[in-house]
Structure formats: C-alpha cells, structure tokens
A and B are shown apart, each in its own frame.
Chain A
Amino acid sequence: MYSAPDSHPVDLPSFHSEISMPYTLTPGRAAGTFLAEVKNRHIVGSRFPSGRVVAPAQDFSSVDGEELESFVEAPQTGTLTAFTRVQGDVIGLIRLDGCDNDFAHLILADIADLSVGMRVRAEWADGVTESILAIKGFVPAADAPIGEIGPLAETEEAIGVIPYSMTLPYEHAYGPYYGRMFDEIRDHGRVMGVRTSGGDDALLPPREIDDITHKRTGTWKACADTGTIRACSIINMAFLGQTREPPYVYAEIVLDGASTRLIHMIDIDDIESAKRQIKPGTRVRAVWTSGERKGSLADIERFEVIDA
C-alpha cells in the first residue's frame, strides 16, 4: 500500500459563473471556399507552388507559409492514418488520395473493424451546408479505387462569416477570505473586510496580503452598508451580458470603514438629474434584496443616494 498524500479533494461549495457569447468568425478565402462548395459535394483543396496539395483548402501552407496557387477538387476517397474513440465517436485522420496532409473527421464504423492503412470514402449528410459536417464522416471502402486531384476552375464565392457561439461554465473556488465574506453577507447581511496591515480601515474584498505594505493583513472588521462614491458614470447603452436596463449609474463606492472600492449600481430617473445628484463624494446606502440572501454581491439589489 502507498500512503496517501494529504491532497484529497476538498469539496466546498463553489461559485458558479458562465461566459456565453455569440461570434461571427471569418474563415478567410480558402476555408470559406471549402465551406461554400460542400453544398456541391466538392471537397476543395489548395495546391501550393511547391506542388503540395492539402485538403480541406488552406490559405497558407503549414509547411513553409507559401500562399495557395489554385483551388483543386480532392477525391472523396483516401486512407485512414490514425484513429481513436472520443465520447463514443470514432475520430480518424484521413489522407485523401493525392493530398499531402491528414485531416480529422468522424469515422462511421465500429472501432474494432478499423486498421491503419484501410481505404475509406466520404459519406455526405443530407441538408447540411456551410459546415465540415456536410461530410457526415468516412466509411470503410475496401475496394475504393485510388482517386486523383482534379482541377476546379470555378468555385462558389467564399463564405465570409460563420456564426458561432461559445458557452463556458466555471466553478470558482471562494478561498477562505472570499468564503467568509460571502458567508457573512448571506447569514448576517453585513459586509466584512480585513484591516490593512497597520491601520483600521478594511480592505474589500478581504485578502491575505496588504497590497501596499506587502505584509499580512489584520483582523476582520464589519463595514457599514453606507458609503461614499469615489467614481461613477451614467450607463446609457445596451450590450450583451448586461444585468440591468439602462440608464443607470455604475458606481465605485467606498463603504464607511473600508478603504477600497465596491462596484455596484444606482437606479436613476433620468440622465440630466443623475448628472447633478450623483457625483464623487455623494453619500449612498445599500438597498438589500427582500428575499432570501444567497451570499453574493447581488444580495445588495442596488445603492441609493442618502438625501442630504
């Protein structure tokens, strides 16, 4: 038996966040032409001045960077050069006949029936265009004759933009300092920081090392839920990922008893009155949410101006 190192997983609650965005990617001329031509069931490749041919088409040779000389039509048959299984799918590298590169695609066969060097042939998907998945995958084709690279005089216009999206979920670990701060917010509705290494003002969010002195920070301290605006701007534009309807005020607030900023929002009626009423130095107070607190900054619904 090996003795277990003291590194067993510690399973504390984590903070879930998600980054999710749409994109409009630009494939460039070669990949754009390949993607445009799959509807004609052509596999477009590039021929380079050196004579090398790669498929799917690329603008620049990954061997030496030379620019493509002409588009060609690659044959739909080739040889399997490697394969593996990923989450139930079989993925293989295929060298199309006459080409100088291998490319990855799905192999539509039982992995037990595959061997390196076997002949394969493209199988097309019905109704799929502008995607490499217009080729559904490659199937074993023992008798497939060796294909040849053919000329491709006319091509469809390259596709300029490919819509894409990405969603990235995260589970952030709080760590002891953020953990206690958010526990205090959830359980007691109070914002706690830690004192600077030599003073009484609290650092928010709390941290282990004082940024200025580079020494360990001091003891915990509850800050008030009132404070002073250090800086603010009036948000009057909409953008993806926004959590409030504009207009509203973005404010960096120093809570009473703290020395660093907390970022939050202030509701406003209109831009002109907000310009006059909300400025650096304005006193504000937190408005807590009425429901159950979750242990995040969103437990404070917003800040509001304390009337003078």
Chain B
Amino acid sequence: MGRHVGIVGVGQTHHSRRRTDVSQAGLVREAVNRALADAKLSMDDIDTVVVASGPVLFAAVNQPEKWVVDAIGAQGKSVVRLTSGGGAGFAGALAGYYQVAGGYSDRTLVVAYDKLSEGQLQYSISTLYDPFWGREFAVGIMGFSAAYWRARMDVLGHTEEAAAMVAVKNRRNAIANPYAHYKKEVTVEDVLNSKPLCWPIKMLDVPPISDGAAAIVLASEKVAHHSTGRPAWIQGIAYCCEADNAPERSLMLSEPLALASRQVYRAAGITNPRRQFDVVEVQEPYSCFELNYYESLGLCPPGQAADLVASGATQIDGDIPVNPSGGCMGANPIGAVGVIRLIEAATQVMGRNETHQIKDAKLALVQSGGGWANLRGCAVLSA
C-alpha cells in the first residue's frame, strides 16, 4: 500500500480560443506559477515534475517538455512527459500520484496543456487510426464517437434530447466559471437545431477548441500541511484500457471505465456512488459521452442515463451535480482537461471553489479518458 497523497495546490490559465501573446512554454508557466503560489511553494520545493500534453502533432514541437522545464525553472529536476490523447493530463496525474505514493517524491508538480489553436485538430487526431486500416476514412474521433452514440440510442436510449440536456446544463454552468472562455446559454431546441457535424453529434454537442494549461501540486501526508490545512486527498485513482478492435468490444458501456471505477471504488470504500458522491467532474468531449459515463460509473443503471439527466439530479442544485464547472463545454484544451477536472473536484472538497462551490462537498468523483475511447480512468477525492 502506497503513502497517502493529497492535492495541495492548483492553478489553471484563463483558457482561450487563441492565445497569441504567449508561446506553449509561456502558457504552461502561467498555470505553474498559479499552482505554486496556491501551494505556498517555490520551484525549489518541488522534487519531481510531470509534463503532460496531447499528440505533438497538435503544435509541431517534439519533446516539448525540454522547452517547458526551462520556462518553469525546473532545470536539474526529474522530469517525464506523458501523453495519452485526451486523457494525457489524467495520465500525468496518475504518474505523479505513483511517484509520491511510492515514496520517491514528497512533492510532485503535474502540469498539463495543449495549444490547439496552432494545428489541425481533426487531422492530428485521425493519425491515431491504423494507417493501413481506416485512417483515410477517419474524422478525428468525432465520426467514431457519433457512430457509437447512434448505436447506444437504440440499445440504451441515449436520445438526442438527453444529450442536448447535458449540453444545456454544462454550457449554463460554464457561464459562472472564470476560467471558461465559451459562455453562452442555450436551450434544448437550440442544440437539436444546431448544424449536424457528425450526426447525431451537432454543433452545440461539441466543446470549443482551446488554448490552456493546468497544474497541480501533489504532496505526501508528511509535507502537505505546509501548503494547506485541507488538502484534497486522493482516495483512489486508476486508468484502464481495452483492446482497440477486439471481437467482443461493444462500446455500449465503457468497459475500461467500469473496470477503473470498480478498482477505485474498492480503494475508496464507495458502495453507492449516486448517494455517496457530493459532486462529479467528467471529461465530456461530446455531450453524448456524459450519458455513457453516468452508466459506466454506476451513477445509474445501464439504460437510465437519459432519465437521470432529465430528472435534474445532475444539475448544479441536484443531488449528484455533474460538471458544475461546465466541463469541456466552457473550455477544452484537450491535454489539460484531465488536470482541469481534478482541479475542479479538488477545490470542491477543499471548500474553496471560486464560483460554483457545492455546499459541504466532502467526496468527489473525477473521470477522464483518451485514445479511441479505449482509455478511461477515474479518481476519488476527499476532504
């Protein structure tokens, strides 16, 4: 059993459609400076650094961690870079967690970012397809995601209206989030009538494209109190995979997420997620994914996600608020999103979320993922 690990400092940029005033390294530095200040630390106090970002094709700089460590003053420290598509930030946090839990570091800085304004999003993502087998027909991950949502409509009743309710909820929540850059209230009708991009995915089911960075400081129990009297303790964290094109892959429930949540719930003592969690943050690159996660995380039984969102339970004032931050709908700097979701959940259980604090939140669930929907993870944070 590893050591207890807490999130003791957080920082994120004010995300933007396009930041032409800073380079990738400058963007990262903003988030790092905020996280270190929040943790009442300087770079001298940090033992190890994890840099996470999406595919290098997004911004055409190979091994960007070399550039990043120079810009944040981390020269001479242990540095690794992790990339895992959309789940890069979460994978980075997992690597940082292992370092601290394993006793190899007392304080680890995890910084995650993407500067999506610089490259070609769909084309870059399409390169995750087998070059022999389907890449020429790929539509980023959107064509694929829409295809399996269409299949889940028939099997699980994830209707266009239900996904539209997710988009409406998250877009409304994003309005209060100071770090979000897309802030516009929409109705279910607006979503349903928005332009089909990869039907059933329509324009308003899709998050914005963003430049942004996010950083957290992970600390061992021994030193956490130097930064805060109330860390967000990581009670469990896992990131699982499934075979990409295996015969039994149905993509109805997310099998890797169900596996990850089983592991994490056991570690954290969760037996009734719907009742026990005070707040949930999920990475919903398209609105339809949030419905899939309700079921895969056990917030409701399979086939009842549409009812759950329609009931209002996942609204900010519901009994199981999901994405009070607005999720990806407010900002989606892909590689950073896993860390952004951890920050939003951490500040909730630390009792100091700036604008959308859930009253008395003690236990939070975080989900993130990447790849071809075949990498999915979750974490439980507690006060």
Give the B-binding residues of A (Cβ under 8 A). 15, 17, 19, 21-29, 31, 59-66, 158, 160-161, 164, 166, 170, 172, 174, 178, 182, 196, 201, 203, 205, 211-212, 230-237, 239-243, 250-252, 259-265, 271, 275, 279-281, 296-298
Contact = CB atoms under 8 A, between A and B. Distances in A.
B146 A233 contact: yes
Contacts of A61: 70, 73
Contacts of B226: none
Nearest to A242: B139
A263 B133 contact: yes
Interface of B: 19-26, 29, 43, 57, 59-60, 70-75, 115, 117-120, 122-124, 126-127, 129-140, 142-151, 154, 195-201, 243, 245-248, 251
30 contacts: A15-B132, A17-B131, A17-B135, A19-B123, A19-B127, A21-B124, A22-B120, A23-B120, A28-B22, A28-B26, A29-B22, A170-B131, A205-B133, A212-B246, A212-B248, A231-B151, A233-B147, A233-B199, A233-B201, A235-B139, A236-B196, A236-B198, A237-B198, A239-B122, A239-B140, A240-B122, A240-B123, A263-B133, A263-B138, A297-B134
A65 B73 contact: yes
A260 B138 contact: no
A225 B8 CA distance: 58
Contacts of B60: 21, 23, 25, 164, 166
A60 B29 contact: yes
A264 B138 CA distance: 9
Given A29-B26, A65-B43, A60 B71 contact: yes
Contacts of B22: 26, 28-29, 59
A160 B16 CA distance: 15
A58 to B, nearest CB: 8
Contacts of B251: 231
Contacts of B134: 262-264, 297
Contacts of B145: 233
Given A26-B23, A160-B21, 9 more contacts: A19-B127, A21-B119, A65-B29, A203-B247, A211-B246, A231-B150, A236-B195, A241-B122, A251-B147
A242 B147 CA distance: 17
Contacts of B70: 60-62, 65
A212 B199 CA distance: 31
A250 B139 contact: yes
B274 to A, nearest CB: 29
Nearest to B149: A233
A262 B199 CA distance: 20
A170 B127 CA distance: 12
Nearest to A196: B247
A25 B75 contact: no
B12 to A, nearest CB: 18
A205 B130 contact: yes
B98 to A, nearest CB: 26
B247 A231 contact: no
Contacts of B140: 239
Contacts of B73: 60-61, 64-66
